[in-house]
Amino acid sequence: MDRFIIHGGQRLEGEIAIGGAKNAGLKLMVAGLLTSERLVLSNVPQIADIATMKDLLVQHGIAVDPVDGSTRTLSIGGDIASVEAPYDIVSKMRASILVLGPLLARAHEARVSLPGGCAIGTRPVDMHLKGLEALGADIRLEGGYINASAPGGLKGDRIVLPFASVGATENLVMAATLARGRTEIINAAREPEIGDLVVCLNAMGARITGAGTGTLVIDGVDALHGAHHRIMADRIECGTYACAAGITGGDLRLVGGRISDLGAVVRALEEAGVEVIGEEDAIRVRRTGPLRGIDIMTEPYPGFPTDMQAQFMALLSVAEGASMITETIFENRFMHVPELSRMGARINVHGSSAIIRGVRKLSGAPVMATDLRASFSLILAALVAEGETVLSRIYHLDRGYEGVDSKLAAVGARIERVGD
């Protein structure tokens, strides 16, 4: 099992290319289930979750060409040969639940294992299931599987989500593209990745309006066709490397990042003393003064993203004064706190809030990754810690970040990937 060895104290300076968004690319691959024609995606990130989704689509009988390393393109298409998404694949990745809606829409039946992924909370799928039932699906839970059928096809309806769930919104909007009549999704999630999915679906012949608002309107069509679509830049990767510039007092140009996608992350960086400048094809992030403590609460977009919470905790652990982070999305997303504390961070957790009292320095230590985003929070801490940090279980990191060691080394970090 690989691990990272990191020697802290280096100021980061230079350019980092931001890849395609994991949280968009996975859903766009699933959209390939909605047509027998070829869906060609470009700017595909080369990460473990993309490979897992490829395995799942192949399980359904869909042809998936390998990612072209030079053009970063991926071609998907074919007839559905199996409607079962088995446990051994679904257990690796939460996003696998998103095949449920497209399978129902196109094949009128599905058997999908209840999902796995990072152990950051329960993340129930009840909103997915209730929404699909509103569209006419019959759903039964048996033996750890979701068994769903819609013999006559799905039909449009008005669905009010009790919470602006990203996954439920994506599942339902894909299902509704082939449903009869009009579907309205009220309190829909507004994340940029959903907008990217809608752009792709409309290019495939869907009729969807309202992306970026709390109401999506989908007029069902008889069939979708192939299309070409470029995956948006990964705003979480961009925000993560912005924190790397901030915590090291560095100056990074994040090529491909868009300041409009970062929203509340930009405001939080600026409040903490990190300068963020939008350029034509990049975002420049630099810090010339001290870091300042701030308060953050995670919220659905356009609020502060839960996927940036761990990275900011590392950043604020060396800021002047006290900070508070309140997590409102997932109940188990402070598992990185004990590992940061091993490095000298002063963090106290009280229920859903963490109080961070900034320290002048962190110290290198053996630490262990607990989930995808927590992995990078420990890398950030290691970049400024005195001495050597050994980060194990980095397979979590490989699920969502591409080439971390090479990207960081290219801008001045002392980081090495080694095997046992």
Is residue 405 part of an annotated ligand binding site?
no
Is residue 54 part of an annotated ligand binding site?
no
pLDDT tier, 116 (very low <50, low <70, confident <90, very high otherwise): low
Is residue 49 part of an annotated ligand binding site?
no
Residue pair 308/240 in contact by the 8 Å Cβ criterion: yes
Q: Coil, strand, or helix at residue 350?
A: strand
Q: How far is the C-alpha of 403 from the C-alpha of 400, rounded, in Å? A: 10
H or E element, residue 198:
helix 192-203
Question: Does residue 420 register a pLDDT over 80?
Answer: no
314: Cα separation from own chain's centroid: 19
What is the pLDDT, as a whole number, of residue 373?
Answer: 84
Nearest to 191 by CA among 302, 99, 94: 302
What is the pLDDT, as a whole number, of residue 118?
Answer: 41
Question: Does residue 6 register a pLDDT over 80?
Answer: yes
348-395, pLDDT tens digit by residue? Answer: 999 999 999 999 999 999 999 988 888 999 999 999 999 999 999 999
Q: How far is the C-alpha of 351 from the C-alpha of 331, rounded, in Å? A: 9
Is residue 399 part of an annotated ligand binding site?
no
β-strand 138-142 against 145-149: which pairing, if any? antiparallel
pLDDT tier, 144 (very low <50, low <70, confident <90, very high otherwise): confident
Q: Is the pTM of this model over 0.85?
A: yes
243 is catalytic: no
**Average pLDDT for 164-187:** 97
Is residue 307 part of an annotated ligand binding site?
yes
242-274, pLDDT tens digit by residue? Answer: 999 999 999 999 999 999 999 999 999 999 999
Quote the percentage of the chain above a pLDDT of 90.
88
Across all residues in the chain, what is the average pLDDT?
Answer: 94
Residue pair 246/272 in contact by the 8 Å Cβ criterion: yes
Single out the catalytic residue among 118, 200, 238, 243. 118
Cα 142 to Cα 114, 137, 138, 146, 207: the distances in Å are 10, 16, 13, 7, 34
pLDDT tier, 119 (very low <50, low <70, confident <90, very high otherwise): very low
DSSP 8-state symbol, 83 = -
- Print burial letters for 226-254: b (CB count within 10 Å at least 16), e (below 16): bbebbbbbbbbbbbbbbbbbbbbbbbbbb
| Token code pair at residue 17 | 């290319």
Residue pair 115/91 in contact by the 8 Å Cβ criterion: yes
**Average pLDDT for 77-102:** 93
Cα 106 to Cα 84, 154, 250: the distances in Å are 14, 9, 50
* DSSP notation for 361-415: --B--EEE--SHHHHHHHHHHHHHSBSEEEEE-THHHHTT-SSHHHHHHTTT-EE
Strands (E) located in 9-137 = 13-17, 39-42, 63-64, 74-77, 84-85, 109-113
Q: What is the CA radius of gyration of the chain?
A: 21
Question: Does residue 171 register a pLDDT over 50?
Answer: yes
29-80, pLDDT tens digit by residue? Answer: 999 999 999 999 999 999 999 999 999 999 999 999 877 777 789 999 999 9
Q: Coil, strand, or helix at residue 256?
A: coil
